[in-house]
Amino acid sequence: MSQKLAGVKGMNDLLPPQIETWQRVERTARALFGCYGYSEIRTPIVEDTALFVRSVGEVTDIVKKEMYTFNDKGGRSITMRPEGTAPAARAYIEHGVANTEPITRWFYMGPMFRYERMKTGRYRQFYQLGAEAYGSADPSMDVEVIALTAEFLKQIGVPDVVLHLNSLGDGSTRPQYVEALKAHFAPLTHLMSEDARQTFERNPMRLLDSKEEALQEPIAKAPAILDFIDEASRKHFDDVQRLLGRLGIAYELDRRLVRGLDYYTRTTFEFIYQPKSGDNALGTAGTVCGGGRYDGLVHELGGPEKPAVGFAMGLDRLVMLLEAGKAPQATGPTLFIGTFDGPLRDDAVATVMRLRNAGHRVDFDPRGGKLRRQIERADKVGARYFATWGEQEVQEGALELKALGLPDDHPNKTTKVELARLGEWLALNARPGAAS
Ligand code: HAM
């Protein structure tokens, strides 16, 4: 026997029926993001490695340890995208979009790749739904992307998410903050792993994202960047908070929220799953969305001075929360047609295809065989009605439809429908929310 192959660790197959939740989430996103004026973009899965090193930052966990990087056959260093902000900025610059419109609003959905330690809600191929808005430093844009996320989470029905908010300032006062962090952590280097010590040397702010047990208390006691930010950023942050209040969007100030990527300036935010009661299915992988402002990135990547703000949500995590505790939903065909072997079968199969082409969910059993087995199959796939296509039906020009979910003595157990009116009837009797 040949050996069975398994998928790559940390990379999941998305199969029915869960795929329907993914599709619902994606449909909701397209509709709502459209209302907010965001257009979809699709960039390649791979980019020049330098793009991520320069944008996400050399001393971040993503670049240091997590990238899928390889040399292509031409000897170029290529990386499978670990996130979508840098590729979007690269495309924005490369296509000179800033010359054609003052404000650009884009969104994207697709797989990202990070070689991370796997656990529930943390994968090596995962899916992000992200949005990026270029061209304005106004606080209303920060609030727009936050409001978009909040409304989206509400529309898809994700419960118990809390918005965490912070500001990192515009970078001008960052040297002072970094000095304060160095002074705080310098006496504690004996608690650090070699890796953390290097981070301390090269970019002490990144220590604040460290998961090392021994560092958690010192991190909790570290100085907060919010106490160091410049006046203009302070005003910007006040405006963001005032406008959030105006929109009735609740948030918690989170003075430790520095995010794991280097490009952020000013507002940073995360939506974190925090159930009020019961188990936290996602544990430390509870951040369902992360984002913020990055006013310097477009210019640093060789583009014009264009402030920007955006976010990305982890779709795997959202779908997991939506699936948890969900009652299985009936999604089978509206009608299942039982067939007899012989010349009539072609008519039955052709009718199935004709009804499908007209937009109805209709199925049959390609194995044919005993009618009892075909009814069992119809039940199994969740069909709503069953009808046989036999001599008598063809002569009468009508099918007798049996409602599979109803008891035999129910007055509506069977209904006769003329063949000529079958499509019309199916449209009226499809499951709510499904195509007929
Ligand atoms: P990020 O925080 O690295 O930000 O990722 C955003 C979201 O992607 C996380 O909150 C999480 O839900 C999901 N995510 C990240 N890693 C994994 C993983 N290994 N498995 C499952 N889900 C994961 C960014 O990527 C920024 N580009 C966001 C952004 C856009 N900032 C401005 N614009």
Summarize pLDDT for 3-51 with one digit per residue, the tens.
Answer: 999 999 999 999 998 999 999 999 999 999 999 999 999 999 999 999 9
Residue nearest ligand 1's atom 11 by CA: 314
Q: Which of 108, 66, 106, 129 is nearest to 317 (CA)?
A: 129
CA 326: distance to chain centroid? 18
Asked whether 271 lines ligand 1 (CB < 6 A), one says no
CA 7: distance to chain centroid? 21
Tokens of 223: 């100085």
Which atom of ligand 1 is least distant from the CA of 130? 30
Expressed in angstroms and rounded, the spacing between residue 63 Cα and the centre of ligand 1 is: 14
Q: Which of 119, 55, 45 is nearest to 85 (CA)?
A: 55
Tokens of 372: 């009892």
Expressed in angstroms and rounded, the spacing between residue 353 Cα and the centre of ligand 1 is: 43
Asked whether 310 lines ligand 1 (CB < 6 A), one says yes
In the predicted model, what is the mean pLDDT of residues 253-276? 93
Asked whether 286 lines ligand 1 (CB < 6 A), one says no
Asked whether 311 lines ligand 1 (CB < 6 A), one says yes
Question: Is the pLDDT reported for residue 329 higher than 90?
Answer: no
Q: Which of 118, 40, 125, 122 is nearest to 82 (CA)?
A: 125
pLDDT band at 330 (very low <50, low <70, confident <90, very high): low
Q: How many CB atoms sit inside 10 A of residue 352's CB?
A: 20
pLDDT band at 327 (very low <50, low <70, confident <90, very high): low
Question: Is the pLDDT reported for residue 256 higher than 90?
Answer: no
Q: How many CB atoms sit inside 10 A of residue 392's CB?
A: 9
H or E element at residue 233: helix 231-246
Expressed in angstroms and rounded, the spacing between residue 124 Cα and the centre of ligand 1 is: 12
Asked whether 57 lines ligand 1 (CB < 6 A), one says no
Which atom of ligand 1 is least distant from the CA of 261? 3
Expressed in angstroms and rounded, the spacing between residue 257 Cα and the centre of ligand 1 is: 14
Asked whether 288 lines ligand 1 (CB < 6 A), one says yes
Asked whether 135 lines ligand 1 (CB < 6 A), one says no
Q: Residues 291, 295, 297, 301: what is their CA dihedral angle, to the nearest 10 degrees?
A: 150
Residue nearest ligand 1's atom 20 by CA: 122
Distance CA 242, CA 240 (A): 6
Question: Phi-psi category of 389—alpha, beta or left, where left has phi over 0 and alpha has psi -120 to 50?
Answer: beta
Expressed in angstroms and rounded, the spacing between residue 53 Cα and the centre of ligand 1 is: 17
| Residue linked to tokens 């990135």 | 297
Tokens of 149: 């996320």
Residue nearest ligand 1's atom 8 by CA: 314
| Residue linked to tokens 């029915």 | 16
Expressed in angstroms and rounded, the spacing between residue 262 Cα and the centre of ligand 1 is: 13
Asked whether 87 lines ligand 1 (CB < 6 A), one says no
Asked whether 363 lines ligand 1 (CB < 6 A), one says no
In the predicted model, what is the mean pLDDT of residues 384-388? 97
In the predicted model, what is the mean pLDDT of residues 175-191? 95
Share the mean pLDDT of the chain: 94
pTM more than 0.85: yes
